[in-house]
Every structure is written in structure tokens, then in C-alpha cells.
Amino acid sequence: MNFHIILIVATIIKRSSQLTLSDCNAIGEARRPEYTDIAVTCGTDSISLAIQACPLVYTGYNETLMIVNHMSNAACRGTLDTSVSPPVLRFNFPLNNTHACGSVFRTTSAAGTGVFSDFSNIQAVKVSGIVRSSDPTTGTITYNAEMKYYYSCTYPLEYLIKKTQIDVSASSIALKDNNGSFISTLRLKLFSDRAYTTSLVMPQNGIELRTNIFVEVKATNLTGQYNVLLDRCYISISPLPTNSSIFNLFVPCGVNQLTTMIQNGVSQSARFSFPAFRFMEQQNETVSTYYLHCITRLCEVATCSGFMQCNNRRRRRRSTDDEQADFSHLHTITSPKIVTQKNVIKGQTPAVFLPQAVP
């Protein structure tokens, strides 16, 4: 019968003396071996084993007949400890691959997990071996079961060292710098009149083509140090312009011929207008629905005029792909959806404005 045991438990080393089967009967420990009969302590400089002694005596062995990794030298012998109950046979050997009583050292590698998930190669060393019985019987047969106790200790080779506090004397000035935003002070509204007094109400069936839409981007509760300057306003079919067709109403140093700029960069509100149109790709739909977006700059009152000069606002020419790729990095103000009627009249072609390329 073979007993293969690997368990990790802490123990300590004591003195030895001869143990008999009568001693084990007296304490009620004369029994067959069990898998829980070995305890292993994985120390930082040594490994300690504690094996229940009475099952060894019950099976026909004593402490001199239990050998670790076939090492018979005195330094690797077990020591019987009868100062504890039940008694144990103790082994202790250093964590040194040249003096570890024949233990096997094997380094393994694996991808890191948890706090080490950024590392593809986390190593550990496994130290293992076996304590087995040496049968004293001579002759052809034996009645003694072979005893085998396997042990192993695994030591990770990557560690996170934390909670180390360092206090360094600095100056008497305390500074905490956080990012803020003025985006909540900006509002985009649509109006139906040039006086900007009547909000544009979108009918269920949409507004008629060529209806003038008056747009205002206004700052409220903002320090008077800044004016509102619209750098670019454009239309997209999707609320997210990165994945739909776009149409520019104006860009730096370029205004669509049907867009009228009313005021820009001269106060805390910017205004312009444009006539309602529809997208050709929505020609089979009853209404054309799209969204207005404005890239808005807050400029200091004294510097706004400089930003409106073309030599300060000129952009390099980009492809459509470049332009759409840039949208994800811009902070824009977006309008509610704008809906226009199809307005198909027999004998008359509705006015259509095609999306134009970005200059």
C-alpha cells in the first residue's frame, strides 16, 4: 500500500527518543497511516516536515528507517519528537539546491494575473521531494507496507511591495490642481426668427425645405472675461458624427454660400442661420433627420479678433477620413434633431443641398 501525501502546515523541531507500539497504544494513536499524517512548513531559508510517528511504528518502522530522497547522511535524518502529542518525526533541511537533502528545484513560468496581469512571464520555483520507508525485512517477501510521503513548496519569484509610506519635508505652499470645464455654461438653441425670440418647434412631419433656421450658441453664468467664438459648425445624420455623412455649414476661413453669419466672437453669444435641406441618402424616407454640431471656442475678449484672422485659423487640408477621425477628440455642442419634409410636388424637383467636402 502506497501513501502519497502533500500538505502545507507549520511545525517546530524538538528532541528524540525511542517510540514503541505500546506507547502508541497508550495514547490511542496505534493506527494505519492517513493522508493527513504529514505537515510541511515552507520557510524562507529551510523546509520543515513533521510526520506522525505512531502510524510508522504501527506499520513496522521507526525513525531510522524513514529516508528523505535516498539521502542517508546524518544531516538529512529525521528526529523523533515525543514532547508533543501525538509524537512526530521531524526533518529540516536548508533551501539550497546543493544542500537541500536531495530536494528537486524546478522553475516554472506563467502569464501574470491580478496585479501582475501586465506581465507575460511570472516565475515561481517549486521545491519537492519524498520521504520513504526502508524495509528492514530480508528474504523473498515482506508484510510491511511501503510508506511514501511527498512534499512540495512553491515560492513565487515576483512580489508586490506596498504600503510603504515616505514623508518628505517640502515647502509651506499646498497646491492641488484639478481639471475643470466650462461646457455646462454653453447652450445651443434653434429659433424661427431673426430676432431670436421664438424657439423653433419641430413639427412631427418636419419643417419645409429652405426654411431659415436661426442658431444661437450662448454662454450663461460665465465670467465676462471670455467671448464665444464658433470655429466650425456642421450637420451629421447620426448624433455621433464619426459614423455618418456630414455637411459643413462653415469652417475656419470658409462659409457655405447659403450660411449667414450674424455675430461671432464679439460677445457671449454667437449667431448664424442656414436654410433647411435634406440629405440625398435619405431621399426614400418621408422626412430627413439630422443633427447640428458646433465646435466652440471661449476666447479672451482681447484675443478673439486674432482668432478670427485666417492666418491664425487656417488648417491643413485633411481627407474626409482624417476629419471624421478627429471628431472623437473635439468637444462640441449638439442641437436637438432637425427634421425636414420631403416636399415632393408633381412637376417640381425639391431643392437639395449635397454634402460638400471639407476644405
Amino acid letter at 249?
L
Asked, for residue 317, whether it belongs to a domain, the answer is yes
Q: For the residues of 239-255, what is the DSSP string, one character each? A: SSGGGS-EEEEEETTEE
- Do 189 and 269 belong together in one domain? yes
| 103 phi and psi angles, rounded to 5 deg | -60, 150
CATH value at residue 152: 2.60.40.3210
Domain that holds residue 61: 21-156
Using the predicted structure, report yes or no on whether residue 238 has a pLDDT greater than 60: yes
What local confidence, expressed as pLDDT, does residue 314 receive?
A: 47
- Do 192 and 332 belong together in one domain? yes
The DSSP H or E segment spanning 46 is strand 46-52
Q: For 145-159, 162-176, 198-212, which range has the lowest pLDDT when averaged over its residues? A: 162-176
Q: What is the largest CA-CA distance in the chain?
A: 119
Q: Greater confidence, 143 or 199? A: 199
Q: How many residues does the chain have?
A: 359
- Do 135 and 191 belong together in one domain? no
| 162 phi and psi angles, rounded to 5 deg | -140, 180
Q: For 149-163, 290-304, 334-348, which range has the lowest pLDDT when averaged over its residues? A: 334-348
Q: Which cell numbers in the block locate residue 292?
A: 447640428
What local confidence, expressed as pLDDT, does residue 179 receive?
A: 64
**Per-residue DSSP letter, 54:** H
What local confidence, expressed as pLDDT, does residue 186 receive?
A: 86
Q: How far apart are CA 154 and CA 145, in angstroms?
A: 29
What local confidence, expressed as pLDDT, does residue 325 receive?
A: 32
Count of domains forming the chain: 2
CATH value at residue 307: 2.60.40.4100
Using the predicted structure, report yes or no on whether residue 33 has a pLDDT greater than 50: yes
Q: What percent of the chain has pLDDT over 70?
A: 76
What local confidence, expressed as pLDDT, does residue 245 receive?
A: 81
Closest CA to 75 of 87, 83, 67: 67
- Do 201 and 142 belong together in one domain? no
What local confidence, expressed as pLDDT, does residue 331 receive?
A: 56
Q: Greater confidence, 247 or 357? A: 247
What local confidence, expressed as pLDDT, does residue 39 receive?
A: 93
What local confidence, expressed as pLDDT, does residue 111 receive?
A: 85
Cβ contact 124:108 at 8 Å: yes
Q: Which cell numbers in the block locate residue 319?
A: 481627407
For the whole model, what pTM was predicted?
A: 0.46
**Per-residue DSSP letter, 145:** P
Q: How far apart are CA 276 and CA 286, in angstroms?
A: 15
pLDDT in tens, 190-221: 999 999 999 888 888 888 888 899 999 888 88
